[in-house]
Structure 1
Amino acid sequence: MTIDYQDLYVGGGWSQPAGDSVIPVISPATEERIGSVPEGTEADIDSAVTSARIAFDDPAGWAAWEPAQRARALEAFAAQLQERGEETARRVSSQNGMPITLARQFEAGFPAMLLLYYGQLVANQLDDVRPGMLGGSTVVTKSPIGVVGAIVPWNVPQAITFLKIAPALAAGCTVVLKPSPETVLDAFLMAEAAIAAGLPPGVLNVVPGGRELGAYLVSHPGIDKVSFTGSTGAGRDIARTCGELLRPVTLELGGKSAAIVLDDAQLSENLESFFGATLLNNGQICWLGTRVLAPRSRYAEIVDTITALAKGIVVGDPLAETTQMGPLVSARQRDRVEGFIEKGRSDGGRITTGGGRPGDRGWFVEPTIVADVDPGHTIAREEIFGPVLSVIPYTDEAEAVAIANGSNYGLGGSVWTADPERGARFARRIATGSIGVNGYVNDPTAPFGGIKSSGMGRELGPEGLSGYQYAKSIYLDVR
């Protein structure tokens, strides 16, 4: 049975779309159609932005609510999401190939957690009263920035959606969300949760579509802030548009992070964490450490350890409880990844395992390890977004730092060592927005984002909330 929607979520309820085109949803595991939703048009974006603007400008509306009142509304939204958690996980896995056990963590659990976190954060946010150097005092307040255009990718669709809408809604903003065409069924289930929670009309709107529709949303005159997660190329286009419009923007873009194995590391004792930091979600996460830096003194041993890890990964149906790696999201993505693997081979890389397809149905690629990779090779420099690790040798710590920092990207990373204090010292030398020691986890309380070609701005933590607020200074007792 397929899941088919006829209407869009705009203005607090289901609304007939302006056009008659639909977005078909295809399973990456079976290559069969599993559902559809209406494809949004520019007219639908217009309607959604208008609804969001009315909701934001209403003197008694969402932005004017007391923070504690908004927090209670977000608690109700979180509860409705939790009720639909298992179905959310199933839909995401069916659409993008994410293993169901991972989808339960990322897609079923994380969104509600973020709503509760940001609701409480804004409820407890106080004005900052500062004594003036010129006499009097100043009250610094935080106000919602306005109507937000949020554009999210297909790889971790619900978790990334709530990186944006949880702080935005908590701050008092209203949102127009454009989900990726590959993952739309989960976004419409989220809309059902919003309706059941009684979220006020226009506060959240969902209009799916492709890149052109996203560009229209970014440039729309009714948008006050843009938050985008996706490719670096698309991010640069959005940055140009927002720069011209003087429109605030948060960009979380691509990555080519380094997983740096120090010479004292006991990698075989941390294989589960190493898998999570390098190959999670079929290799389809932007912060994964897909460049593995290994000391020459232990290079062969580490290559063998990583190769054995890859060989032992259970590849299969993403809905199966035992699956550790599912298919890639689309045939186009599979072909792209296979092209990088062939490029790595032709540049002189040595494939120690993988490199092929495990079957003739679905868009699967075997977990692939490429050894003897030079830092200048294409597979060591460009984001692949698939289950491919490049293992690069280094001589000493100075060279490891130079190789790690020699990337155009700076989003994630990890350091592996038997001495956590040494790992923390080493981590400070890596030019990146986030890095873990003997693991990697995005914690809701800590800022996440990139430098260089990995973007600008931060999500998560109090920093994620501040991106949806502007500071206002109120001068008191001025003579």
Structure 2
Amino acid sequence: MTDVLTVRETPISLQHPDRLYIDGSWVAPAGASTLEVIDATTEESFYRIAETTPQDMDAAIAAARHAFDHSPWPFLEPRERAEYLRKLAAGLRARSEEAATFWTRQTGPTFRMAVGSISRVPNLFEYYADLAETYPWETLDTPEFAAFGAVVNEPVGVVGAIVPWNTPLSLAAYKIAPALLAGCTIVLKAPPEAPGELYILAEIAHEIGLPAGVLNVVNGHRTVSEQLVRDPRVDKIAFTGSSAVGRQIAATAGGRLARYTLELGGKSAAVLLDDYDLSAAAASISQQECSLNGQVCMSLTRVIVSKHRHDEFVDALASTFGSVKVGDPFDPETQLGPLALAKQQQSVLGYIQQGIADGARLVTGGKRPAHLDRGYFVEPTVFGNVDNRSTIAQEELFGPVISVIPAENEEHAIELANDTQYGLNNAVFTNDNDRAYQVARRLRSGTVGHNGFKTDTRMGFGGFKQSGVGREGGIQGVAPYLESKTVLLDGTPTRFQ
């Protein structure tokens, strides 16, 4: 494991923090303003990058539009585009620890977790590269009124990809990899709070000779994001972020009939059936809540347990989660690092106070750790006797806070789990595989795990209700970047003979 002091003393390695990646070149921005990126642990300035202006965003969109309409990129064979995905994978693999350093300093995950997570991102690009040979790009049919018929899948066009600060590289990869495979061109809007890993991705794209305009990487706040969503030259928006912003994007994109996929917020439930060991459940839930310090949309932040087991479980959870070591994320002993931003820390602390005011029992945590006078830290926090209709049980907190909710019985537990505007992820804890499957089928969410937080993005992920529209990952993740076309001919083309 890299030494804490060594990492903190290592200068940033971005080649062009003063520029934007547009049309295959690192170009100077139209304005002089910059964005300051803060180290979440020290609260000190990490680095600055040039801020994208509306003029810069216009140039990026124009570059992507021109590359789609006037370059060979959309018409290459999928296996030809797949070679670029493999090169991107190799470049990311070579710079994975560097990208993990950016992620840890910007957003706060433990360095161990960041290295492990980012090391899997190249696999995603390779997965989609492999799909080039097996995806049904062309399907023959027997038409009623023609000699030859085929349904062909073609790229949807220019994609505007917008990702948040919590896991920017992996979330971008789930958009970029299938979009590139499909033949789309992309404007990637990096989060202003955590752009470093995506600038590394742009550097790799440049080094491997990805054709000009195919991938453009910019940054910025709400103004340029809205510009990207509104622009009629952009055929599809791929967004990950809050449900509130997702609703605005859906309204804007729907107004011009643009395509969109939305991976939004969650308030996921862990349903504990009466046959499952409470200590094992507490250990599993505590461990998963340490992932990215609770800043995960799929996190199991509502635990629903029979009321006659409630107090015992709360004690077990408070013991495991409350003993988690909080500290510098580069320290190998640390289990929980800081939140990403000062405003996020204040938001989570505010929700904790709201939970107390609403009558929930604060069992452990609830404050900034006394031994840490710098950094956006929040203690691992457990509430008991939480009303499922209360604020902390219904709103996404995005921090290390777990609410335990008592249920009358199994039927009531399922009802409580589904009583939310969200439907991203859930879990059922039981030793009975049949009961697990039966309960899983009744939980209204895009993913349901068994005996813990589980997700397999090669099988696709996304949400019900206000947790999103569409799916990312797996073979399902290609379809949103394609349009199907029916071709009817009087004779059979040579390639199909």
Q: Could you say whether these structures have the same fold, taking a TM-score greater than 0.5 normalized by the shorter chain as the test?
A: yes
Hey, what does 1:391 align to over in structure 2? Answer: 404
Hey, what does 1:400 align to over in structure 2? Answer: 413
Deviation per CA, 1:360-404: give whole Å up to 9, x if none: 211100000000101111101111010001000012111011101
Paired positions, count: 476
Deviation per CA, 1:261-292: give whole Å up to 9, x if none: 11111243355543354442110011111111
> Secondary structure in 1 aligned to 2:416?
helix
Provide the rounded CA distance (Å) in 2 between the counterparts of 1:169 and 1:320: 37
Provide the rounded CA distance (Å) in 2 between the counterparts of 1:462 and 1:263: 37
**Equivalent residue runs for 1:129-140 within 5 Å:** 129-132=140-143, 138-140=149-151
**Equivalent residue runs for 1:10-159 within 5 Å:** 10-59=22-71, 61-106=72-117, 108-126=118-136, 127-132=138-143, 138-159=149-170
> Secondary structure in 2 aligned to 1:260?
strand
2:343 pairs with 1:332: yes
RMSD of aligned residue pairs (Cα, Å): 1.6
Provide the rounded CA distance (Å) in 1 between the counterparts of 2:334 and 2:75: 47
2:426 pairs with 1:426: no
2:448 pairs with 1:438: no
Hey, what does 1:298 align to over in structure 2? Answer: 309
Provide the rounded CA distance (Å) in 1 between the counterparts of 2:228 and 2:423: 27
In structure 2, the CA distance between the partners of 1:276 and 1:120, relative to structure 1 (3 Å rule), is: farther
Deviation per CA, 1:114-170: give whole Å up to 9, x if none: 111111113322321223466755311110011100000001111101111111111
2:238 pairs with 1:227: yes
Provide the rounded CA distance (Å) in 2 between the counterparts of 1:460 and 1:436: 17
1:9 is aligned, of 1, 10, 21, to: 21
Hey, what does 2:258 align to over in structure 1? Answer: 247
Q: CA deviation at 1:38?
A: 0.6
Deviation per CA, 1:230-280: give whole Å up to 9, x if none: 111111111111010100010111111111111111243355543354442
Q: CA deviation at 1:420?
A: 2.7
Unaligned runs of 5+ in 2: 1-8, 492-497
> Secondary structure in 2 aligned to 1:428?
helix
TM-score (norm 2): 0.93
2:381 pairs with 1:375: no
> Secondary structure in 1 aligned to 2:49?
strand
Provide the rounded CA distance (Å) in 2 between the counterparts of 1:232 and 1:273: 27
Quick check: 1:153–1:180 contact (8 Å CA) kept in 2?
Answer: yes
TM-score (norm 1): 0.96
2:483 pairs with 1:466: no
2:327 is aligned, of 316, 320, 324, to: 316
Deviation per CA, 1:318-362: give whole Å up to 9, x if none: 122222111011111111000110010111111111001112211
Residue type at the aligned position of 1:15: V
Hey, what does 1:197 align to over in structure 2? Answer: 208
Provide the rounded CA distance (Å) in 2 between the counterparts of 1:147 and 1:102: 33
Quick check: 2:283–2:320 contact (8 Å CA) kept in 1?
Answer: no
2:256 pairs with 1:282: no
Q: CA deviation at 1:304?
A: 1.3
In structure 2, the CA distance between the partners of 1:134 and 1:40, relative to structure 1 (3 Å rule), is: same
> Secondary structure in 1 aligned to 2:56?
helix
Q: CA deviation at 1:216?
A: 0.7
Task: Using the aligned pairs only, state the percent identity.
Answer: 44
Of the structure 1 ranges 337-346 and 439-448, higher mean CA displacement relative to structure 2 is found in 439-448
Provide the rounded CA distance (Å) in 1 between the counterparts of 2:18 and 2:119: 28
Quick check: 2:300–2:453 contact (8 Å CA) kept in 1?
Answer: no
Quick check: 2:449–2:455 contact (8 Å CA) kept in 1?
Answer: no
Provide the rounded CA distance (Å) in 2 between the counterparts of 1:334 and 1:389: 16
> Secondary structure in 2 aligned to 1:141?
strand
Hey, what does 1:416 align to over in structure 2? Answer: 429
Quick check: 2:297–2:398 contact (8 Å CA) kept in 1?
Answer: yes
Residue type at the aligned position of 1:338: L
